[in-house]
Structure 1
């Protein structure tokens, strides 16, 4: 409206109102001015009161000094909030710059000089003490930075936490919405986070705000980060961060550059890790890109000179869902230490088996291919709740030759929180000199996963392994079912297998427990060689216990249990036929093995070595494999001895040992050459294909130690030896060469007789042996022959032989064939005395024992009564009823020594004799002299009686004749002897050229016949040992036995019998001796001597 259009009349009232209004305003302004003037003059008191009220309303203890208050600036100094002794905040100087304006003034700038802030973070709660009511109001909503310039000079803070102390420093300033710029630093000596420890962490950088968006740029560093439980150990870490947030701090984004030193993550180590990427966080979702590279990567399975990963990470819903996808690439790959060590260890452990050359070939070719190898793979991993899945569209490992070593396609791995992982995909392996395996795992409609694989024959030298087909099925419950076959050929410990067929069927439960072979299964082979044993085209059926599989493996360790109703195997042992049969066999591991009625035959049926074991028990526990065996018999065709009823303990710990063994050793011949011997506490060791054994052989009845036995045998060469040491076997009442006769002659009574002998072959040959024998024997064998030898000796051995007692036998006997009981020819032993009726001293006998069956006596000789007694050679068949002839030759016997040896004290004789004494023993052992003869040498000799007559009533003519003939000279004397040794010998004595000697009485009769040729013949019947005593009777009638004492006639002369045998005579003599002793004891004491003078020595 223009000024002309406004009527003047209407303007007055309005002008009055305006003037009132203006006047009111003027008054208000005046009042305000007056108020402002009043406030100004009281400004410091008002400001102080306001600040104090503010602190008091929030229950904050604070002290400060108001330095100045002006419209443009307010200054407070020495601000202390909280306990002055331990303040929560101190500010040396606070300046608030204000631009005055109507209403509330504008705050232009807040300047803090040397502020010090102290706080804590305990059990998840952040606190700054007295400042908490101002900082944590509980209001929700977006964070909005004020439009205010803030300048901080030398600001510092300290945060005490459950994990450590963190110091902070900040300096700089600017508008908090646009233009703020400051340097920030945070340091700590170390942080002990849950499960992790961080050494020397620091954060340096610049904080800026542009267009209401905060930004940070700077490095985060740490000396080391160790998370033992997670297997994480990082060293010398630096993360260069450049990021910004929106104005409400609801979203973040930025970039990072990572550099780590030596690092280990879940048993994977790297010399260094570097990389870069971008990240963003918005509304609880994280998205990040990464491009990482690790050098000198080392894992248990493989190593890489460099390993790179590039891809994206997404985390949603506060990390409830995580997705990681990317590409992996590796170069300069090599076997990991654990895998290489495992391969080397497996090869060492399998030395001597078909696995060793296969593993050696695999390791060598794999190491060659890995030089210059590369790895490429793509993956997509996701974790949703407790389920983790990994999808690998393709992964390929190429060798240095560019051949594909491992190819994995369409693979998927699902890892639930509990139970077994699930995997599906196609797998193949290859490469020059490496196994070729093809496999496919897929999931059926019912949720079961099935893996089908096959491995072509993999060969190294003569070792081969193939898996024609193997199926692994995994059910929805995670349980795996296995079914397939394995074909193998190659060396085994101590042997070789060809065409081994092993069925595989079993299950693996969700907890990892393995069970194989739930029913009877047959294991077959084309040939199986162990040491020198070869079995061809055999099969063995093993069955599990009821309700259990043969093999189980789980938390309780490995368990095996199987059995067979019988074994029936055949083959060759060192080109010698062998068969093995048994009854029931069962084993359990850990536990025991039991086998019954084992029968092993070695060699052709008609000349076989046989081993039988009635019962074999074994403990099969880790570190303790052993047991017992009982009732074992060993029959070796090449050794004519049998080991029977053997029993003892055995153990195996890389070495097979038999201990505390006992057995019976018997002769196998139809006629035993020795009685059974026993051994106790015997030992045997088998190591490196060599057997060593020790035993002590004893007499079973007396437990007398007879011999120590040491055996060594090489299974590889089939050679060995046995040494027997006889340290001293003493014969006496408890031990004799020959057992009692009833034991040998009545086998039906043998068990009822306690026998103390060694061999029945000695029965009737020797008896009552007394003395000690020592010696040593050795038996050696090889695949072609068995030899044995020995040497035995005695310094003094007494015994009774068939032809008389022997004393002091001594010498060394050398056996050229000990097992065959054959000595070297012409063995010589010395004999101190032998008495076939007349004792002979200091002789020597030569002999040879042949095959334990025959003794060839090569002869013997003794000094004999001034001459020599020689035994002619004779053959004696031991243990055979036969006639034996011992022919003794006498050369140069002196009659004078004969009379002296026979203790014929009243006789004197001279002359030299030669002769032959044949002694014949019949099949029953009865001996007799046959055609024995003695002949005097020219010029003859004489016989005279030098004692006095005992009887005075012989009559005149008898006494006269005796005095005439008491001294005779002869030109020739012949003695012929015949008759049994145990009865009376018929001895014919013939004198020729008889004439009186010098001491004979000369009378008319002797002078009348002196010129006549007289021949005197005398027949004597007497026991052999009384033979020459009868000659006394020719000169001393008192030497004749009284016929009444012999029971031939009565006192009145009536004849009772014509003859009497020697047994009757001995019985009569014994009765007479007892009667004489009785009379002597009952007789009164006299002064007469008890012993008759030696001049007469009358005999009854």
Structure 2
């Protein structure tokens, strides 16, 4: 019901004192109740506290046991706290003191004291856990972290963390307000930590922790004895890191200073002692770092440095979306590392004997010298964002100890992740300039940049770099490196210096080189032209030439890799000129190939050695060499040698050769020696196991010349020849040539006359000049000779001797020839005049003994017989001078002069037992041989000296009765005296010889019978003439030696030639000769008997004619 105004007034008018009394009563009641409640709570405080703690732990499912020691308004004490499994608790605390400040409402906890807490936790798969305490610690709140406003005191707090990396023990003691003023000491230790393949040993942390204005701080070192990572090769020992760290109150921002010292840091093959310091800040997802790191005694396989300092800063923005690193590098005492030194040593060893060896040696020694006291400096800026990464190197330099710049880089740039057109690319882009220099080091300049295809391209040039007589220059060089790491070089190089076994000057090399990612080098995969100003191989020096070299199929010409240096090339032909041991040389060849290490092969070599007009010429069919041994050597076949100064030629030479210590040696040499003249002065000879050496432009040779068929040694030959001057000499030593049936001075007639002969009929003689002069020689000849030559002339001399030679000469068989022949020109077979040969016997038809022959040989053309003389049947037999021209078809006359021949001695020596004769005869017997070798007696005559002599028959008659008057006449004439007797001889030696005997002043001898006939003619002057037609008894037999040197008779009679001159056989044996001699003797006896029979018939028909018509009786 609505209130009225009056009612309102009535209420407002109630007394105020009444209200105050009521309010006091209420407060008194509430206060009493509060006192009662407080009294009840105080009396039951421990149970209440226990229920509150238990409810809180149970609410979070945390098992725990504890003892409440004290509960008071200002302090609460719990002891024996165990949280978690009692057997493996997560936390134990000996006692907790909680100091409380009472206030209206809930009291404030002002301080908590933990006495000997022990915390146990784990880190598994990156998750931290403290077991049953996790619900209390990791509440999952999203708000920023905030330290509670209370004092915390920890007395001997410890924790043990079981992690995937190992066990970590922690100790903490200290106290203070958590929002400012907390001070403590923190220590941690991990005997063995491992992560992946890395393992740390004896890791410790010790320092002071504090909180200032809610910002926690740590100051102290972290130390570890060793850190080893097997896979990466990282090894760090004896390291200490001094930390000064501070976090912001939200624990999301940090800053600090770091300083460290590492006794040894090694990564793979790099090792160094390191130290450094720096500072960092992390704020709003931005990181800033300032660093200053120094490595001492850094050592890598490729370089070592005494000190290397890197100083700069790092900025990472927007949680590392953008990173920028700036730095300055400075180093001192840079040195080459072990592997680089070994690589240079291996390169020097592999390039031994080449121009690269002294260049590499100078490079190494100069670089080692300059690196002592060297400094290196560089600045760089590295940037990375979401699209690309780059490194800029404005400058970098390496300065030697002398102050010279060894290497300078400028405008260097490395970019990855973005192509030139702005698109993305996975290929890095390089660009920059570089230059090298320094005393004794190559001067190279160039620029490097990335090609559009992504390949690295570098263009460079190198000035001439020399060491001794070796030099190399690169006027232009282009290098391309593909994305796979393969390097290709192209350009041109100029080089001079040593080659294996030689030297090159002014060599122009086209460069076509590839280097595989593994480092194997290949050069010239196709034919290339090499030009040079001078090339020397052994003693061979070639002038300005060009050579086209081609590789083996599918292989480069030059290779260098793990197997060392290899070279294999060939050319179809050579046409070169130069000098060999300072002697002009011209060289032409067929196919030629060389492989190093390996072999050298050349075919159809044609070499002219010496000045024009007097050059020595060598042709070699096949030449091979082994280049893999310490010395160069090989073999050769089919070599022909023509020495201009020596009129002798060598054919089909073969042997082994080697070149060592600047000396060319040939061993086991075989060759054939021939006379160069059109008409050979001697037949070809051979040599086996000959030796030759060439050193200092002097050629020395030693050989034994042999007759090729029998293999008999003819002469030892030692030759010395100076290739430069063209002078030399040869010493000949004939220790003993034995002539017999197997070996004769002259070959067969068929060979000398170019008649066809079979292989079995090869010559067994020394010179065709002896054909027709001597044959059937038996005995031994010794002697010496010397040949000297120079650029102008050749001279020779010698002397040859024999103690006893048997032979058949043109004028008859010779036995026991002995003496010494002195040659004034041995090569031209010229002797001094009046050479004397003693002859034991000669039989020009009648054997003569103990004579001598004088002769002279002239120019291997003429045998000038200056005479010969022998005791001859009481007188002498002389051979008049006669010139015999060798190898010329001519008529030859041998005139034998007989002086004082005693008829009685003739009868006695002829063993004509039924005859007796007396008288002394003189005369001449010309023996003429025509051009065909047919001999005849022409106008031979013997005249008796006054007063004549007699001829008588002292034997019994053995022929049949010839009638009365015949018997009467024979008895009267069986003993005749004469005043003069002439014997004339004419006719062929091989046919019927006509002998005319003429008696003048014929009378009876003392023993002749006197009868009617003798008395009838006693006073008549009688001239008796007798003609005999028959073979001359044992007169000089025909020597058809031009057809057969083994025959001294008519070769037709011996069965050597047919009547028409066709050769029937080359030789006959002694048995055949004896049989034919017996047959010839029987034939002669038969013809003589026939002649006597004819004489008897005529005598019976005409007693007045005692001879045929050729015989006349003159009055």
Q: With the length of structure 2 as denominator, give the TM-score of the two structures.
A: 0.67
Mapped contact 1:601–1:608 kept (Cα < 8 A): yes
Q: Which residue of 2 aligns with 1:451?
A: 458
Write out per-residue CA displacement over residues 395-427 of structure 1, whole angstroms, 9 at most, x where no aligned residue: 233445544343221123569999997642222
Pairing partner for 1:181 from 185, 192, 204: 185
> Which residue of 2 is the match for residue 7 of structure 1?
19
- TM-superposition CA deviations, 1:435-463 (whole Å, max 9, x none): 44332334566766553333445567776
Contact 2:189 2:205 in 1 (8 A): yes
8 Å CA contact 2:90, 2:133 repeated in 1 = no
Of stretches 405-414 and 1005-1014 in structure 1, the one that deviates more from structure 2 is 1005-1014
Q: Structure 1, residues 325-376: CA drift from partner, whole Å, max 9, x if none?
A: 4323344556667767777887787788766776676667666655654433
**Preserved contact between residue 710 and residue 724 of structure 1 (Cα < 8 Å):** yes
Are 1:392 and 2:393 matched, yes or no?
yes
Query: How big is each residue's C-alpha offset from its partner over 1:749-770, in whole Å with a ceiling of 9 and x where there is no partner?
Result: 4689953345544443444556
In 2: Cα distance, 1:521 partner to 1:322 partner: 52
**Aligned equivalent of 1:879, options 882, 887, 903:** 887
Q: Which residue of 2 aligns with 1:242?
A: 243
State the structure with more CA Rg.
Answer: 2
Residue 990 of structure 2 corresponds to 982
Listed one character per residue, the Cα deviations across residues 504-545 of structure 1 (whole Å, up to 9, x for unaligned) are 467778887877668776544556566676655544556789
What SS does structure 2 have at the residue aligned with 1:10? Answer: helix
- The match for 1:375 is 376
- Match of 2:459, SS? strand
Write out per-residue CA displacement over residues 235-279 of structure 1, whole angstroms, 9 at most, x where no aligned residue.
x64434334464998777655555566776665666x55544456
In the alignment, which residue of structure 2 is the partner of 1:220? 223
Distance 1:938 1:363 in 2: 113
**1:440 corresponding residue in structure 2:** 447
Q: Distance in 2 between matches of 1:862 and 1:221?
A: 125
Residues 736-747 of structure 1 mapped to structure 2, 5 A cutoff = 738-746=746-754
Q: Which residue in the other structure is 1:96 paired with?
A: 95
Which of 411, 417, 431 is the aligned partner of 1:424? 431
Tell me: CA distance 1:175–1:966, structure 2 relative to 1, closer, same or farther (3 Å): farther
Separation in structure 2 between the aligned mates of residue 6 and residue 719 of structure 1, nearest angstrom? 166
Task: Assess if the C-alpha contact under 8 Å between 1:295 and 1:304 holds in 2.
Answer: yes
Show the 5 A alignment for 1:330-729: 330-332=331-333, 373-380=374-381, 390-413=391-414, 423-431=430-438, 435-443=442-450, 450-457=457-464, 465-472=472-479, 482-488=489-495, 499-504=506-511, 522-525=529-532, 538-540=545-547, 567-570=574-577, 579-581=586-588, 599-602=606-609, 609-611=616-618, 634-643=641-650, 666-674=674-682
Cα distance between partner residues in 2 of 1:541 and 1:1003: 113
Question: Aligned partners of 1:605 and 1:929: how far apart in 2?
Answer: 55
TM norm structure 1: 0.68
User: For the Cα contact (< 8 Å) 1:150–1:175, is it kept in 2?
Assistant: no
SS of the residue 1:375 aligns to: strand
Q: Distance in 2 between matches of 1:719 and 1:194?
A: 85
* Structure-2 change in CA distance of 1:913 and 1:439 (3 Å): farther
Q: Is the 1:921–1:928 Cα contact (8 Å) retained in structure 2? A: yes
2:763 pairs with one of 742, 756, 767: 756
Provide the C-alpha distance between the structure 1 equivalents of 2:606 and 2:589, rounded to a whole number of angstroms. 6
Summarize the Cα distance change of 1:1043–1:784 in structure 2 as closer, same or farther, 3 Å threshold: closer
CA contact (8 A) 1:387 1:414 kept: yes
Give SS of 1:7's match.
helix
Give the direction of change, closer, same or farther, for the CA distance of 1:817–1:258 in structure 2 (3 Å limit): farther
2:1043 aligned partner: none
Deviations 1:1044-1093 (A, max 9, x none): 864897899599xxxxxxxxxxxxxxxxxxxxxxxxxxxxxxxxxxxxxx
Following superposition, the deviation at residue 879 of structure 1 comes to 1.6
Q: Distance in 1 between matches of 2:132 and 2:695?
A: 87
1:653 and 1:531, CA in 2 relative to 1: closer, same or farther beyond 3 A? closer
Structure 2 vs 1, CA of residues 267 and 810 (structure 1 numbering), >3 Å: closer, same or farther? farther
Alpha-carbon separation, structure 1, partners of 2:859 and 2:284:
110
Cross-structure match for 1:1062: none
Q: Using the alignment, how far apart are the partners of 1:386 and 1:938 within structure 2?
A: 147
CA contact (8 A) 1:378 1:395 kept: yes
* Contact residue 702 and residue 756 of structure 1 kept, 8 A: no
Question: Is the Cα contact below 8 Å between 2:238 and 2:264 reproduced in 1?
Answer: no
Deviates more, 1:471-480 or 1:873-882: 471-480
Q: Is the 8 A contact 1:928 1:981 kept in 2?
A: yes
Query: Is it true that 1:18 corresponds to 2:53 in the alignment?
Result: no
Three-state SS of the structure 2 residue aligned to 1:18 is: helix
Aligned residue number for residue 311 of structure 1 = 312
Contact 2:187 2:204 in 1 (8 A): no
User: Which digits, 9 at most, give the CA deviation of each residue in 1:86-133, with x for residues without a partner?
Assistant: xx9999x973343487999999555559x9999999xx89999xx877
- TM-superposed CA distance for 1:78, in Å, is 14
Residues 193 and 663 (structure 1 numbering): CA distance in 2 closer, same or farther, change over 3 Å?
A: farther
Matches within 5 A, 1:264-279: 273-278=274-279
The Cα of 1:11 is off from its aligned counterpart by 3.0
Is 1:541–1:564's contact at 8 Å kept on the other side of the alignment? yes
Seen in structure 2, the aligned counterparts of structure 1 residues 120 and 430 have a Cα distance that, compared at 3 Å, is: closer
Structure 2 residue matching 1:440: 3-state secondary structure: strand
Aligned CA distance change for structure 1 residues 626 and 434 (closer, same or farther; 3 Å) = closer
Give the whole-Å Cα distance in 1 for the aligned partners of 2:27 and 2:81.
54
Asked if the contact 1:1044/1:1050 (under 8 Å) is kept, the reply is no
Q: Find the residue that maps to 2:763 and give its secondary structure.
A: coil
Structure 1, unaligned runs of 5 or more: 41-45, 1030-1037, 1056-1100
1:106–1:895 distance in 2 versus 1, CA, 3 Å = farther
Asked whether the equivalents of residues 285 and 319 of structure 1 are also in contact (C-alpha less than 8 Å), the reply is: yes
If asked which structure has higher relative contact order (CA below 8 Å, sep 6+), I would say: 2
Cα RMSD between the aligned structures? 7.0
SS in 1 for 2:19: coil
Secondary structure of the structure 2 residue equivalent to 1:638: coil
Residues 1013-1092 of structure 1: pairs in structure 2 closer than 5 A:
1023-1026=1031-1034, 1041=1085, 1046=1090
Partner of residue 845, structure 2: 837
Q: Describe how 1:247-286 pairs up with structure 2 within 5 A.
A: 259=261, 273-278=274-279
Q: How does 1:34-183 map to 2 (within 5 A)?
A: 35=47, 95-99=94-98, 108-112=112-116, 149-152=153-156, 178-182=182-186
Contact in 2 for aligned 1:618/1:626 (Cα 8 Å): yes
Check the 8 A contact 1:419/1:510 in 2, yes or no: no
Once residues 27 and 851 of structure 2 are traced to their aligned partners in structure 1, the CA distance between those partners, rounded to angstroms, is 186
Matched, 1:922 2:930: yes
Measured in 1, the distance between the counterparts of 2:982 and 2:1095 equals 38
Q: Is the 8 A contact 2:807 2:814 kept in 1?
A: yes
